[in-house]
Amino acid sequence: MSEEITLNVTQSETRLDKYLTAHLDLTRSRIKNIILAGDVLVNGAAARPSDKLRAGDVVTVTLHAPKQASAEPQDIPVDIVYQDEDIAVVNKPQGMVVHPAPGNADGTLVNALLFHLDDLSGIGGELRPGIVHRIDKDTSGLLVVAKNDTAHASLAEQLAQKTARRVYAAIVHGNIKQDEVTVDKAIARSRKDRKKMAPDPGGKAAVTHFKVLERFGDFTLVEAELETGRTHQIRVHATGIHHPVAGDTVYGPKKPKLHSHGQMLHAKKLVLRHPASGEEMTFSLPLPAYFEAVLRGLRAGQ
């Protein structure tokens, strides 16, 4: 299905791409792709992103519904740290997306889980079976998966009530002088870039506790514990205290200053209560090889 939108221009000397970005709730990159695909007409004729509009021009935009992604089992290796009848705890590698979405239709953790596990909860829907919480594509580490709806509800409640603990290791830019820093700033989707999150008093509450583990002058190894679980929370809060996560080109420097592939963020510890038995369970992972390699370089002064 598709939707057609007609806009009447009232102001001259405005670039087409900028005009549409201001009038449609779409990113500028998507606007550019829509124009280049021939789905934007100005006075009935095809246009270019840089074309200047005049007062009285009529702009017609055709928006096509995104292709629906689906989750199919795929024989992709996955490191299952623990599993029983109710839950599974996996070690997600850096570079793997958690669930299918536009732009990542397959090759995700969900595709792998559907192949390797017999059961997954259905609360998350067809594209997110078993997924109670997520970590970013370029973040590695621990993720708990629900194998039935009862377990899913219990785990979701633990996350909401802040009784489950999630601890990350991160290398951040700069030298953090304090040994411990708590950031308590609400987060919402950025008003300037819809692909990003940003501190916003009107957003959802977000609290991150940072603890310094090792200093390298230009970089600091920290432990970051989430009290809440907002999208990109550690990355946004780290940038907010002027110490962005190393390798994070979205919230930090565009050109990485470390010899790393992706952001230096690893979910190393997970503490939760088992949904059936009520037993407290603690899962820990050592730092992955890519993370240790960067640390060796920092310790050697490279």
Query: For 233, phi and psi rounded to 5 degrees?
Result: -55, -50
Active site residue 136: yes
φ and ψ at residue 228, rounded to 5 degrees: -130, 175
**Cα of 219 vs its chain's centroid, Å:** 23
d(CA 92, CA 233): 18
Q: Distance (Å, rounded) from C-alpha 194 to C-alpha 28?
A: 10
| Catalytic one of 17, 57, 86, 136 | 136
In terms of C-beta density within 10 A (0-12 exposed, 13-18 middle, 19 or more buried), how is residue 201 classed? exposed
**CA 197 from centroid of its chain's CA atoms:** 10
For tokens 């308590």, the residue is 184
Residues tagged active-site: 136
